[in-house]
Structure 1
Amino acid sequence: MTERKAVHYGKVEVIPGIACDGYVLDDSVAVMSERGVADLLGVNQMLLNRMKTNWPPKSLEPFVNGGWSMKTNSVEVVAKNSPYQGRKIVTYDSSTIEHLIRFYTLAFANRKLRKNQQHIGERCAILSASLINAAIEVAIKEACGIPANIQETAQKHYTDIVELMKESGLKCSVDGDIAIKTDITDFLEIPQSTLNSFLSKHRSKIEPIKLERATILAIGSKAGRMNGYCLKDVGTIALGMDSVIGIELKEKMFGSVSSLAKFETKGEIE
């Protein structure tokens, strides 16, 4: 069998701020590198490596179509603009990526993921909803002869959590849509100790913004130092907690996905 070559390379940014390595092969198949898929799904690359040889994981097993197995290909990168030119990489085609998103979404909706896997399910559920919305919007615009940028459209739908939080009453004390801890605890109706614990556990994903002294004084605080948080990180906090507000936001974002999951798996896991 002839080994495929990756002849085109580009950065795919479906999620704002997360650029994933994408390629088009010499047979016109669009793929992502293993590192790119890991970044897209919010998983450790080693997890994908393990799943290739130990498929399916127990948490996903009830939701995997019979006979489906995770397929990857090793290809040679010849694209001149790729930092991996001349190397062989592992790639995943769009069908494999779609299956992984769907399986994790179904497992998440049916509460079958372990605690340390739930962030993957949340990411996949939001991805699923945003990509469906983006595909519909782009299809309509293209049919009407209006040029559309699929990446920009997908990013717009992915960040809908920001608008949902604002609609649900989130107020930011600092100009530029920057929330302080009090804003977050008031919005989620949780004690600050709960927020501090969450931030400590997820410090690799959430980057605090050090506020200047003048900004701290302007919001009426006498604290010597204070951190702020961008709305994307506040969304991560809100969706990562099972507070009353957090659960409501999840229902608004992908409640229909949860309903679909329960319908598709009815009788399958009981």
Structure 2
Amino acid sequence: MSLRLTARGLCLGHPGHPVLDGVDLDVAPGEVLTVVGVSGGGKSTLLRALAGLLPPLGGELLADGRPLRGPGAERALVFQEDGLLPWRTVRRNVELPLAVRRTPRAERSGPVADWIGRVGLAGLERRLPRELSGGQRQRVQLARALVGAPRAVLMDEPFGALDAQTRAAMQQLLLSVWEKERCTVVFVTHDVDEALLLGDRVAVLGGGTVAAVHAVPYSRDPAARSEPAVAALRELLLAQLSGAGRPVPEEGSP
């Protein structure tokens, strides 16, 4: 079952120097929420808080209505840098979350093999990270994040360093995985087109808070990029990111 993540009046940063303040956000179970904002606008800060790595300075941060305190196995974090352990093979990197949980070795092999196959790396189990391409390393990271069956996956510009073709392939892989798992996903990106392709909604960070949240028409449909509603939302997002647009409340808000 997927996880609901809720922020109410959330303040994040360092004492006396908040990066984000007054953040109100509700991520529905099973939703893909993409988050965009200018560099230094607090995207990674928000994600670290949702992962339990950054305690709030104020406000509330909840997981299924309960205070979120510290990291938990129900939330997996995926970074732009793959963070693979260079001395561990593909198989041993993927099994790491299960090993940390002290899952018996005999119970690890099935899920590990399954996820290695699902991300398209069957046959590469014994390779070390240095023997893999950038896209392959990100596939390993995705499998490692998902092998423990998290209820929410928090992704910090995971495809930002990839070439366009590999990035498109990883986007489609993520969507195919989400279609089967239906876990909650919070996906930070600096790319508006990526945000529109992947998200049910797009949250715009600006002015030290969530300036706007927009529902995405034709979400996860690559063919809809030229649809007028999608094109109009793209222009609005670009305007808001440049500071030219006025903050717009979440749809359904008074």
TM-score, with length taken from structure 2? 0.30
- Give 1 or 2 for the bigger CA radius of gyration: 1
Normalized per residue, which structure has more strand? Answer: 2
Normalized per residue, which structure has more helix? Answer: 1
Q: Higher relative contact order by CA 8 Å / sep ≥ 6: 1 or 2? A: 2
